Structure 1
Amino acid sequence: MPFPPSLPSLSHLARRRLALYLTTLLLITGQPLLAQDASPTTEQAPALAEITLPTSLPAAPVIAPAETGQYVLEFNRSPVVGNRLRFSGIYDEQRLHFTRPRNWTAKSVKVLLRYRHSAALYATRSNLTVLINGTSIGSLPLNQPMGEIGDAVLEVPADLLQDDNELVLAALQNNSPTCTQDPFDPSLWTEVLPDSKLVFDYQPQAVTPDFSQFPYPLFDTLSLQPNRVAYLQPIKADSPWLTATARLQTYLGRTALYRPLDTRLVRNLEELAAEERLVILGTPAQQPALADLTLPFALKDGKFVDDAGKPVPPESGLLMWATAADDSSPVLVITGNGEAGVAKAVQYLVQPQDQQIATGHGVVVNQAAELPPLPPRQWPGYLPEENDFLLTDLTGPNRQPLDEVTVRGSHSPAMEIDFKALPDDRLLRGSKMRLSYSYGPQINPLTSLVDVELDGVSITGERLTEVKGANRRTLEVDLPGDRVTPTSKLQVNFRLDPRERRSCSRVTDQQLWGTIHSDTSFSLKRTAITHLPDLDLFKTGYPFTAPQDLSTTAVILPDAPTNTDVTVLLELAERLGRLSAADSVQLAVYQPGDLPQTARDEKNLVAIGPQSRFPLPELLSEEGFALRGSGTRQWGNTQVQPLPDGEGLMKSVISPWNSQRVVLALSGRDDIGLAQVTDLLRHDPLFYQIEGDTVLVSAQVPNPDPYISADYRLATLRQSPQVQLATTTPYPWLWQVTRHNWMFIVPATVALALLLYGAAQSAMRRSGE
């Protein structure tokens, strides 16, 4: 072991003893304490190209407003509504959220309610109140005869609307003219029907695109309609263009998250629909249509030039806004005089922290930051990498850190905590949650408790025994590791019962409260082991989204990809974007002739193409389900020749080049079958049914609806043997032994010290002789 250069004056014996000591620590920790050349090196930043910016820019493009319109937003679009919105008990309320698109000015908004209620309700003491952003816009008496449906139209003042809005429906229900004795009486009910709606009369406004607002107007997170994005096909779809397009689509998938996004390819500007967004990506040689647009930089001899007439350097990217379709559609131009510049411009767009310094309708990207690769197990929204963490280290559905919460009343809602294990996490016995909580006075200690549930199943609970309330109590919860999954949720419920009940009074109910404190802690014992191939894990994106920047994933397309091939690529990139969260996108796309040996050997691969043009043909004929020539299908020892064969194929296998990686095949007998894979990736009701190692999908009707189970057929197959993989760096062997036998560390250290002392004394005697 080399000695540190700062210790030259030590004696020979001291140096030998130090070497023994450091070697012992290295065995225990697995890490050297001292190393040579530890000082960081500083790389010289490359010189930036000097570009003379235009002094007289053309006027900023303006997206012309559409005509005045009406939009109907039915309640059944909300997942909480379903077949009806039900209210139970004396008092109940339901909340619905809706947005206002950024370019809409509301002229009038109406709430159209259709409802029915129990005939047992007493009309003068029962009503349904509607509130918008905390302001009441009307109350309806619940006085309909039995079996009849009530209709009501309520006007919403336009000045109440914001970008994000909350509609609250509150029902007060009584079945007695004086006092309702039983708040759990089943006759206390009202239902708002799912065909109730919000009706917008709106005036669209003109929009001036500006990169300080990106991704708007390419994507509007407040839109009530699906965002529609089209990509203009280049002269030739090569690997750099495919990579840049896939990265931008991944970013749009992350931006969309749960919102709908419709994407397609167009061959020319004439195919663009009104109000559809267009992306033109590529150099002027790849995209001749750039010459037809009014842009801040002039095109001369097929190259963009600056104000001095010099060509923009090929390593500089250009971002510009323009309009098309009679100025009704925004056009995002991502270009440059070289592929390096185009790639740099795309990389700038997909890194949100870089977008903050942009403004105007034209940007020259001279340099885009190269972010370091992410750790494979750092997944936002999932359990932290550390085994010991606090409640504040977890995030909610909006990806904001959780904080302490106070709930009130005997029927208070549960605090729900996303407790999503990483796909390769295996929680072991001994994992614990230490719930820190407080509660108020005046509770009934015989019937009040706090309980913790995992995915709706109670784990443990504790009585609330203090009539005067308690502060900072701790409940230790043993977490059943075998039931924690990538979709798990913890619920903490306060079941509060008042000490004294008073008829017809809510005071004794609403004064009850319970608080879950932010210092609630978790201590996990877990290991990282997974079994592949398994398409059930692909529902979380795993292993392609580990790490979340997709730096270990590569996609392979045929040499001459068709529209269907590229469409599947776009849907795959969007799906991976929805399933990941990072500050960069490092997804790579290759064609067979461009695939580097290192990418094939070290990355998870996704191969796209029909059977006749599949870029990795050996994967379709290996073990498990196989597509062979002459229209033959094989499954085990069974062979058939279906006519026609219009099913899509999703198949996962262990990579033949690296047993730690996976290859995913997206294929079909022809383009018709491959198009079915597009639907499988696009629609959540289909995608979240995949499992096994092979899925076959086909539409059963001409215009299938993914929400109708009979419209699609999904067949799940499993035959490929699974391989168990340990997905974390192994600890040194001595640490693995001692971490679970820590009581033996002290005696073992004493014995090791005596052994080393004896060896040192023996060495000294031999050297003295």
Structure 2
Amino acid sequence: MPAPCPGARLLPSMMAIALLATTPAALDATAATRTTNVNSDVLETAPAPVPAGGRTYRVTLKQLGALFPLQLRGVQGNSGVAFSIRNDEVVTAARLRLNYAYSPALINELSHIRVLLNEQVAATIPVPNEQGGMSLQREINIPPRLITEFNRLNLELIGHYTLDCEDPAHSSLWANVGNDSELELTVTPVAQANDLALLPEPFFDRRDVRPLKLPIVFANVPNATQLEAAGALSSWFGSLAGFRRADFPASVGQIPAKGNAIVLALGNERPGGLELPAPKGPTVAVMANPNDATGKLLVITGRDAKEIKTAAAAVTVGSPALSGALATIIELKALKPRKPYDAPNWLAGDRPVKFGELVEEQTLNVAGYSPDLIRINFHMPPDLFAWREKGIPVELKYRYTARPTRDKSTLNINVNQQFLRSLPLLAVNHEQPNALNRLAAKVLPENDLLPAEDAFRIPLFKLPAQTQLQFHYYYDVIKQGACKDVLLDNVRGTVEPDSTVDISGFSHFLAMPDLAAFSNSGFPFTRLADLSETAVIMPDKPAEGDYSTFLSLMGLMGRVTGYPATSVTVAQAQQADALRDKDLLVIGSSANQPLLTQWADALPFSLNGGSKRFQISDFAYRIFDWWDPDQRDRAKPRSSEVSFNSDSTDAVITGFESPLQSGRSVVVLASNQPLGLQQAVNALLDPDLVTGIQGSTAVIRGKQIDSLVAEQSYYVGHLNPLIYMQWFLSRNPLTLIVLGAASALLIALLLYLSLRARARARLKPKN
């Protein structure tokens, strides 16, 4: 008589568990959740009351880092996201709105989805068969007591599809959680001391993944120096905000009714009735917002505009040293000038850069048969010249749990979700060890991860300015047969922090104008991280919207470089001639920016109220959006022009060579209405919209972006003479033919003269 299957012996236990799951106690464990099919009316639950002074906000799982829906696979599939709570807030209520689906093959008595917060069960979601395969929604109340400063929200599928022996990696064991699911948090503010030692909190808190919105208030109409000070502050906060994006709405003389803000006041100016002592020098202070008991103001003041700029610089580069509610800056030594391409956020161009310099070491380790990706984010200068180069070299070092037998396990390498290469994961050699294996066993600890190395190159056309290198350990699941398949949690993988990526062998040379380089990297202005070779030309009579555009652009530059724009120059149109040795960023409209009239011949557009003119090239009719490493297919000269009248709001971003000095660049942000400038800024800050800003002229209308012209008329950067000659001749074959013919004629002439000289010498009579 054959032996009973092991799964059969477990049947009574499984049935007992199933019965327990239907008891009132088990039903109470899921009472905090409600489910509905998305095709029916959504069940409404009473929202949690908001405490006095509190607020409620929502973040999606995508905002928390889940770029794709969470895939739960196997008998115990697990995935999740991390979230944090601001230091000046405490959570009083939390709710999770899940959009999910699960396999109809799951046994509902034995299967469920667990919601875990910081490894504690917050709720259990049943998986009834009648709803299997449907798109469902569920609201789950999370106990606030489980929430701490730094949190991990996990969703875990406990899945079974048969009462008999089952395959733990069976394809029917799945659940899917949409990354549009929302976490709703109700928070109450916590009183914070007025202390500069807390900077950048509470104005920016790294725990907060939401976009940063920080108003900047000028006590009176600011002059150029005050704007430079405000630009340094906004770029500093922009560098801190990073991926979150940062907006800096500006106002004159009006403190916001709620929340935090930055205030710049000159001398005895007191916007909103603020009570401040008369400044005795560059002064920085933190105080309560008089309109909001829970808000704070960062006040920058001085006896003149230069002292305000000094105080702002002290905050951006010396905030860790400040303390107290008020500090007067006695001395701030001049900062060391920045060097080209030395932005902290960019890969160093003079040496190989280790992965450990780019990410925290613990993120380079993964575990399990379905591990998350190991991600290496880095930012490169957009003007790297890789003509006839094989790509950017990467020296990869990694370790992994050796496979028990030879199988299809691999380490897959992707760049921005594009497959690059695959490296096999080797098996342990169970044969009698030879002398080399015995020596290796002495050097390596027993059962240690197997070390390996690989060198490869990444083609530059696969690497935009903002790049993510992704490593995925794929482990092949070996089938042992019925009732024998068991997945042991004993596999590990790592990418070593001393792996390197190296761009030191590349020159800097780029065809311009190129709005993609500007929108993604702030180039050419960010070539120097402190923007010391950049001048921003403001309108003659700027409005608050113009100030906001300038501050948000400085925040964008700070996000790209990771360094405050402490040396940017702010000027007006009449000063442009004196700034010919700088790259110019022009803001305004035809009504208040004289340069748009003075440089009308260089501009491919005209905006004058409802009257509009645009020049167009064949670039506007391209079928595919793709990047050519040599850019010769992107150059499309202007071929037509259209003029019309309409009441639409149009914003234009265009680039061209400076009419004041060759080799210098001008980028113009212009609109026929104030709202248009904000639309342009929103497009630059939106990761989904910014990809549409290309060529040399782009028109923005709300969320619609059209790139009309891709005219490349000049170059920035330098090549060594030999490479430049080869590159120039490759782009000008007619010149190569002429030079070849001229060289042949010259060689023929030299040979002719040489042979004639030899002939005359031979025929000359000897004495």
Deviation at 1:555, TM superposition (A): 0.4
1:642–1:713 Cα change, 3 Å: farther
| Paired residues of 2:236 and 2:563 also in contact (CA < 8 A) | no
Instruction: Name 1:391's counterpart in structure 2.
Output: 355
| Paired residues of 2:409 and 2:475 also in contact (CA < 8 A) | yes
CA distance in 1, matches of 2:452, 2:115: 39
Q: Using the TM superposition, name which of 519-528 and 362-371 deviates more.
A: 519-528
CA distance in 2, matches of 1:617, 1:70: 45
Matched, 1:321 2:282: no
CA distance in 1, matches of 2:452, 2:212: 49
| Paired residues of 1:246 and 1:589 also in contact (CA < 8 A) | no
Instruction: Name 1:415's counterpart in structure 2.
Output: 374
CA distance in 2, matches of 1:345, 1:532: 37
Instruction: Name 1:289's counterpart in structure 2.
Output: 271
Q: Which amino acid aligns with 2:193?
A: T
Instruction: Name 1:574's counterpart in structure 2.
Output: 555
| Paired residues of 1:653 and 1:693 also in contact (CA < 8 A) | yes
Q: Helix, strand or coil: the match of 1:258? A: helix
Equivalent residue runs for 1:237-386 within 5 Å: 237-259=222-244, 261-269=246-254, 272-274=256-258, 276-284=259-267, 287-289=269-271, 292-295=273-276, 297=277, 299=278, 304=279, 312-313=280-281, 316-325=282-291, 327-351=293-317, 354-386=318-350
Match of 1:716 among 707, 718, 721: 707
| Paired residues of 2:403 and 2:426 also in contact (CA < 8 A) | no
CA distance in 2, matches of 1:414, 1:76: 17
1:332–1:460 Cα change, 3 Å: closer
Instruction: Name 2:459's counterpart in structure 1.
Output: 480
1:106–1:732 Cα change, 3 Å: closer
Deviation at 1:687, TM superposition (A): 3.0
Equivalent residue runs for 1:537-552 within 5 Å: 537-538=517-518, 539-552=520-533
| Paired residues of 1:451 and 1:493 also in contact (CA < 8 A) | yes
Deviation at 1:344, TM superposition (A): 0.7
* C-alpha distance after superposition, 1:353-394 (max 9, x if no partner): x1122111111012223221222222334432135444334x
1:370–1:141 Cα change, 3 Å: same
* C-alpha distance after superposition, 1:630-650 (max 9, x if no partner): 935252553523233631111
Deviation at 1:100, TM superposition (A): 1.4
Deviation at 1:258, TM superposition (A): 2.6
1:653–1:596 Cα change, 3 Å: closer
Q: Helix, strand or coil: the match of 1:545? A: helix
CA distance in 2, matches of 1:482, 1:613: 40
CA distance in 1, matches of 2:60, 2:660: 51
Deviation at 1:201, TM superposition (A): 4.4
Deviation at 1:177, TM superposition (A): 1.5
1:262–1:202 Cα change, 3 Å: same
Deviation at 1:504, TM superposition (A): 6.0
Q: Which amino acid aligns with 2:561?
A: S
1:392–1:220 Cα change, 3 Å: closer
1:618–1:727 Cα change, 3 Å: farther
CA distance in 2, matches of 1:436, 1:230: 46
Instruction: Name 1:98's counterpart in structure 2.
Output: 83
| Paired residues of 2:250 and 2:545 also in contact (CA < 8 A) | no
| Paired residues of 1:117 and 1:144 also in contact (CA < 8 A) | no
| Paired residues of 1:620 and 1:628 also in contact (CA < 8 A) | no
Q: Helix, strand or coil: the match of 2:160? A: coil
CA distance in 2, matches of 1:491, 1:476: 15
Match of 1:178 among 161, 164, 177: 164
Q: Which amino acid aligns with 1:345?
A: A
Aligned residues: 628
Q: Helix, strand or coil: the match of 1:573? A: helix
Deviation at 1:112, TM superposition (A): 5.2
1:277–1:615 Cα change, 3 Å: farther
Instruction: Name 1:19's counterpart in structure 2.
Output: none
Instruction: Name 1:163's counterpart in structure 2.
Output: 149
Equivalent residue runs for 1:653-692 within 5 Å: 653-692=656-695
* C-alpha distance after superposition, 1:595-650 (max 9, x if no partner): 572xx222211011111221423565134513177935252553523233631111
Instruction: Name 1:495's counterpart in structure 2.
Output: 474
Q: Using the TM superposition, name which of 356-365 and 451-460 deviates more.
A: 451-460
* C-alpha distance after superposition, 1:625-682 (max 9, x if no partner): 1317793525255352323363111111111233322111111234354454344345
1:473–1:134 Cα change, 3 Å: same
CA distance in 2, matches of 1:326, 1:152: 33
Q: Helix, strand or coil: the match of 1:73? A: strand
Q: Which amino acid aligns with 2:508?
A: A
Q: Which amino acid aligns with 2:332?
A: A
1:93–1:534 Cα change, 3 Å: same
CA distance in 1, matches of 2:366, 2:563: 33
Q: Helix, strand or coil: the match of 1:558? A: coil
| Paired residues of 2:62 and 2:180 also in contact (CA < 8 A) | no
Matched, 1:614 2:593: yes
Unaligned runs of at least 5 residues, structure 2? 1-49, 430-446, 616-637, 728-767
Deviation at 1:335, TM superposition (A): 0.8
CA distance in 1, matches of 2:482, 2:691: 49
Q: Tell me how large the CA RMSD over aligned residues is.
A: 3.4
Instruction: Name 1:3's counterpart in structure 2.
Output: none
1:219–1:176 Cα change, 3 Å: same
Q: Which amino acid aligns with 1:356?
A: P
Q: Using the TM superposition, name which of 369-378 and 146-155 deviates more.
A: 146-155
1:74–1:267 Cα change, 3 Å: closer
Equivalent residue runs for 1:556-595 within 5 Å: 556-582=537-563, 585-595=566-576
CA distance in 2, matches of 1:142, 1:344: 62
Q: Helix, strand or coil: the match of 1:246? A: helix
CA distance in 1, matches of 2:149, 2:494: 31
Instruction: Name 2:629's counterpart in structure 1.
Output: none
Instruction: Name 1:627's counterpart in structure 2.
Output: 606
TM-score normalized with structure 1 length: 0.74
1:719–1:341 Cα change, 3 Å: same
Equivalent residue runs for 1:420-569 within 5 Å: 420-427=379-386, 428-429=389-390, 431-468=392-429, 471-497=450-476, 501=480, 508-522=487-501, 525-538=505-518, 539-569=520-550
CA distance in 1, matches of 2:99, 2:506: 51
CA distance in 2, matches of 1:486, 1:188: 39
1:193–1:434 Cα change, 3 Å: closer
Deviation at 1:120, TM superposition (A): 0.8
Deviation at 1:479, TM superposition (A): 3.1
CA distance in 1, matches of 2:242, 2:300: 23
CA distance in 2, matches of 1:83, 1:485: 21
TM-score normalized with structure 2 length: 0.74
Deviation at 1:441, TM superposition (A): 3.7
| Paired residues of 1:610 and 1:674 also in contact (CA < 8 A) | no
CA distance in 2, matches of 1:586, 1:240: 11
Deviation at 1:72, TM superposition (A): 4.9
Q: Which amino acid aligns with 1:343?
A: K
Match of 1:650 among 648, 653, 676: 653
Deviation at 1:84, TM superposition (A): 5.4
Q: Which amino acid aligns with 1:418?
A: N
